Amino acid sequence: MPTTLHILLIEDNPDDRRLALHTLQQALPHLQVTPIPDQHAFLQALDQGGFALVLTADRLPWSDGLTLLRTVKARSPDCPVIMLTGSANEAL
């Protein structure tokens, strides 16, 4: 039986969040994805812990990518964070 991998999917746009969730679940059926639409859900998920990866947008209404990265790393230093951008600019 495959091990379940738990990730946080942080995206404020409901359509983008649904698309990413669907794509991830189709590609990796044993993946447990917790969709995070806002800061409250993000902080709750951090308090609960147990996730292996954070997949996030780089710009959110309530945080920028670097602040979010620092917040995750302060609580879970070994957790990888993948930051996605809709911008053509690679600089953060």
Beta bridge partners of 34: 8
Residues in contact with 56: Cβ distance below 8 Å, sequence separation at least 6, in sequence order: 8, 9, 10, 11, 65, 68, 81, 82, 83, 84
Q: What is the mean pLDDT of each run of 10 residues along the chain (92 residues)?
A: 87 94 92 95 95 94 93 95 77 56
Q: What is the pLDDT of residue 4?
A: 86
Q: Which domains does the chain have, with CATH numbers?
A: 11-84 (3.40.50.2300)
pTM value is 0.87
